[in-house]
C-alpha cells in the first residue's frame, strides 16, 4: 500500500536545439534519449516533451521572452512540477527559470546525477555519486534561496558582518568533499588489492563497455548465466560486476567484467568520481565494445564511447572486439546486410544477446583475440620442479614436452600474466 502511496512528480522535458552547437545529432533522437533518461528515475511521470530551437541562448534565461511565456503556459496547463532541460544550464539561468515558471528545473548533468544517486548500491558507488553531486552543487549555491544571502556575525553583533551564508555553505561542501575523498581512497585501495589479486590469477580479463542501454548486461547474463539487472532502461547497471567463467562451447576461462554504460555529454564530475570504477577497463586484456546496431545514431554513440575510453587512457595496443548487438530488432534485409558487413570486417561480431544468435561466433572471436595476446616460451625444468610442471599442465599451457637427461624441455604458450604467476611459484 505504501508503495502505491508514493507521490508521482509530473515532468516536462525540453531539448534546446542550438544550430551553432558542435553536436550534429538529430534533435528528435536527442529528445527521445532525454525522455528515456527521465523514465529511468522512479516516481517521475513525463507529461510532455518538446524540441525548442534557439538561434542564440539567452545568457540570463536561456530562452527568449516569447518562448519563455509559451513554455510557462504549457507548464501551467499540464500542472508540471519539474522541468528537465536536456543540455547545460548555468546556475543563473536555472534560478531565473525556476522564478519565471515557479517549478523545479534540472539540467542534463543534474538529471544524470539523480539517476546515479538512485541506482548506487555498493559503498564505492554511493561515495562516488555523493562526491560528484557535491562538486556539482558547489557551483550552484548562487541559485539558492534567501537564507544564503544572510550574513552571520562573529560574537553577537560586535564581530562585524562575518562570512556570508553562501561562503559557509561552500566551505561545508569542501570539508565534506575532503572527508568523502578519504573514505573513497580506502575503498579504492581495497579495489586495487582485489585487482592485484586478480592479476595473480592466470585468467585473462574481458571487459564489456558501451553506450548505456546497448545490451551489455544482457550479453553478460547470456555468457555467464548470472542475473545482473538488465532492463530496457538507461543506466540500469551502475556498479560493475565481475565473474570468473569458462566461456560457452568449450571457450577459454576468463574473468568477465560488466561496466557502467557511457552516454554523450557524460558530466565531468561523474567521469572524475567514477574513474576508479572505470579503471577496471584499463586492466583488461580484451575490451568488447557493445553497440546497439539497431539505434539510428549507433555511429555517434560509438564515437562517444571511444572518446571516453581515450580520456581514461586505454592503450591502443589493447585488443578490442566491436559487438553489433540487437540484430533481432532489424528487419530481414537490414539484418542480412549487417551480418554481411560484419563478416567482412576484422574484430566485428554481429549478434543478438536476447536470442543468442551469433554468441558461438563471439566466443570463438574472444578465444582468438586472447590467443593473439599470448606468446610462446621455451622452458627447461629439472626433475625436482614437479610442482611447476604440474601447474603448467593443469593450466593447459604446454604445447610440446621432451624429456632430457636432467629434466624436461617444454614449449609453453601463455600470457604475460600467466608467466608472472609461474615465476611466483
Using CA atoms in the order 179, 182, 186, 189, what is the torsion angle rounded to 10 degrees? 150
In this prediction, residue 141 carries a pLDDT of: 65
174: number of Cβ within 10 Å = 12
Pairing state between β 375-382 and 407-414: antiparallel
Q: Between these two residues, 357 and 149, which has the higher pLDDT value?
A: 357
pLDDT tops 80 at residue 2: no
Percent of the chain residues topping a pLDDT of 70: 80
In this prediction, residue 361 carries a pLDDT of: 92
Pairing state between β 9-17 and 44-53: parallel
| Cα 390 from Cα 175, distance rounded (Å) | 55
pTM metric for this prediction: 0.73
In this prediction, residue 199 carries a pLDDT of: 57
Tens digit of each residue's pLDDT (9 = 90 or more) over 239-250: 667 788 887 766
Between CA 118 and CA 129, with CA 124 as vertex, the angle to 5 degrees is: 40
- Residue 147 pLDDT grade (very low, low, confident, very high; cuts 50, 70, 90): very low
In this prediction, residue 16 carries a pLDDT of: 93
Please say whether the beta carbons of 366 and 206 come within 8 A. yes
In this prediction, residue 144 carries a pLDDT of: 44
C-alpha separations of 4 from 44, 117, 119 in Å: 13, 22, 20
Q: Dihedrals φ, ψ of 154, to 5°?
A: -85, -90
Nearest to 31 by CA among 49, 48, 47, 12: 49
pLDDT tops 50 at residue 153: no
| Cα 353 from Cα 68, distance rounded (Å) | 45
Half-sphere exposure of residue 344: CA atoms within 13 angstroms, side-chain side: 5
- Residue 150 pLDDT grade (very low, low, confident, very high; cuts 50, 70, 90): very low
223: number of Cβ within 10 Å = 24
| Weakest mean pLDDT among 167-176, 381-390, 399-408 | 167-176
Tens digit of each residue's pLDDT (9 = 90 or more) over 3-33: 455 688 999 999 999 876 555 678 999 999 9
C-alpha cell at 258: 560488466
| Weakest mean pLDDT among 171-185, 264-278, 388-402 | 264-278
In this prediction, residue 152 carries a pLDDT of: 40
In terms of C-beta distances under 8 Å and separation of at least 24 residues, what long-range contacts does 311-319 make, across chains too? 311/271, 312/275, 312/278, 312/279, 312/281, 312/282, 313/282, 314/281, 314/282, 314/287, 315/282, 318/284, 318/285, 318/286, 318/287, 319/285, 319/286, 319/287, 319/347, 319/369, 319/372, 319/373
**How large is the angle between the packed helices 359-372 and 216-224, nearest 10 degrees?**
90
Tens digit of each residue's pLDDT (9 = 90 or more) over 45-99: 999 999 999 888 889 999 999 999 999 999 999 999 999 999 889 989 999 999 9
- Residue 34 pLDDT grade (very low, low, confident, very high; cuts 50, 70, 90): very high
- Residue 414 pLDDT grade (very low, low, confident, very high; cuts 50, 70, 90): confident
In this prediction, residue 123 carries a pLDDT of: 75
Please say whether the beta carbons of 15 and 86 come within 8 A. yes
DSSP letter at 327?
Answer: G
Using CA atoms in the order 385, 388, 394, 395, what is the torsion angle rounded to 10 degrees? -150
Average pLDDT of every residue of the chain: 82
Tens digit of each residue's pLDDT (9 = 90 or more) over 196-238: 665 555 578 899 999 988 999 899 888 887 665 555 556 655 5
How far is the first Cα of the chain from the last one, in angstroms, to the nearest whole number?
60
| Weakest mean pLDDT among 103-112, 117-126, 168-177, 413-422 | 117-126
Q: Dihedrals φ, ψ of 271, to 5°?
A: -60, -45
In this prediction, residue 367 carries a pLDDT of: 85
Q: Between these two residues, 136 and 289, which has the higher pLDDT value?
A: 289
DSSP letter at 358?
Answer: T
pLDDT tops 90 at residue 160: no
Half-sphere exposure of residue 176: CA atoms within 13 angstroms, side-chain side: 16
| Cα 325 from Cα 191, distance rounded (Å) | 30
Amino acid at each position: 500500500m505504501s508503495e502505491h502511496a508514493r507521490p508521482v512528480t509530473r515532468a516536462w522535458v525540453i531539448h534546446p536545439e542550438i544550430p551553432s552547437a558542435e553536436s550534429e545529432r538529430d534533435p528528435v533522437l536527442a529528445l527521445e534519449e532525454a525522455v528515456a533518461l527521465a523514465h529511468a528515475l522512479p516516481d517521475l511521470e513525463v507529461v510532455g516533451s518538446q524540441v525548442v530551437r534557439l538561434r542564440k541562448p539567452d545568457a540570463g534565461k536561456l530562452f527568449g521572452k516569447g518562448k519563455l511565456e509559451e513554455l510557462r503556459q504549457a507548464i501551467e496547463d499540464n500542472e508540471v512540477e519539474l522541468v528537465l532541460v536536456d543540455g547545460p544550464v548555468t546556475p543563473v539561468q536555472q534560478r531565473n527559470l525556476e522564478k519565471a515558471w515557479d517549478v523545479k528545473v534540472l539540467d542534463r548533468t543534474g538529471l544524470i546525477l539523480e539517476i546515479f544517486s538512485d541506482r548506487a548500491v555498493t559503498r564505492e558507488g554511493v561515495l562516488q555519486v555523493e562526491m560528484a553531486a557535491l562538486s556539482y552543487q558547489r557551483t550552484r549555491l548562487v541559485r539558492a534561496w534567501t537564507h544564503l544571502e544572510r550574513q552571520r556575525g562573529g560574537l553577537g553583533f560586535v564581530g562585524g558582518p562575518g562570512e556570508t551564508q553562501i561562503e559557509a555553505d561552500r566551505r561545508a561542501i569542501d570539508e565534506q568533499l575532503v572527508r568523502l575523498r578519504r573514505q573513497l581512497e580506502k575503498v579504492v585501495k581495497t579495489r586495487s588489492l582485489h585487482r592485484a589479486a586478480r592479476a595473480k590469477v592466470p585468467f585473462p580479463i574481458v571487459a564489456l563497455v558501451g553506450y548505456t542501454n546497448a545490451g551489455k548486461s544482457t550479453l553478460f547474463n547470456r555468457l555467464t548465466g548470472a542475473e545482473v539487472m538488465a532492463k530496457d532502461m538507461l543506466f540500469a547497471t551502475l556498479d560493475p560486476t565481475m565473474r570468473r567463467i569458462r566461456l560457452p562451447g568449450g571457450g577459454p576461462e576468463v574473468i568477465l567484467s560488466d561496466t557502467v554504460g557511457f552516454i554523450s555529454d557524460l558530466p565531468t564530475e561523474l567521469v572524475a568520481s567514477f574513474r576508479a570504477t572505470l579503471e577496471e577497463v584499463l586492466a583488461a586484456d580484451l575490451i568488447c565494445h557493445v553497440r546497439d546496431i539497431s539505434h539510428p545514431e549507433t555511429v555517434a554513440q560509438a564515437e562517444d564511447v571511444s572518446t571516453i575510453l581515450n580520456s581514461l587512457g586505454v592503450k591502443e595496443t589493447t585488443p578490442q572486439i566491436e559487438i553489433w548487438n540487437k540484430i533481432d530488432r532489424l528487419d530481414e534485409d537490414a539484418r542480412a546486410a549487417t551480418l554481411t558487413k560484419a563478416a567482412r570486417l576484422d574484430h566485428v561480431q554481429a549478434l543478438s544477446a536476447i536470442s543468442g544468435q551469433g554468441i558461438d561466433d563471439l566466443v570463438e572471436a574472444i578465444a582468438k583475440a586472447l590467443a593473439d595476446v599470448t606468446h610462446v616460451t621455451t622452458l627447461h625444468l629439472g626433475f625436482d620442479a614437479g610442482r611447476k610442471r604440474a601447474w603448467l599442465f593443469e593450466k593447459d599451457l604446454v604445447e610440446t614436452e621432451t624429456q632430457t637427461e636432467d629434466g624436461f624441455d617444454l614449449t609453453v604458450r601463455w600470457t604475460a600474466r600467466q608467466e608472472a604467476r609461474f615465476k611466483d611459484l
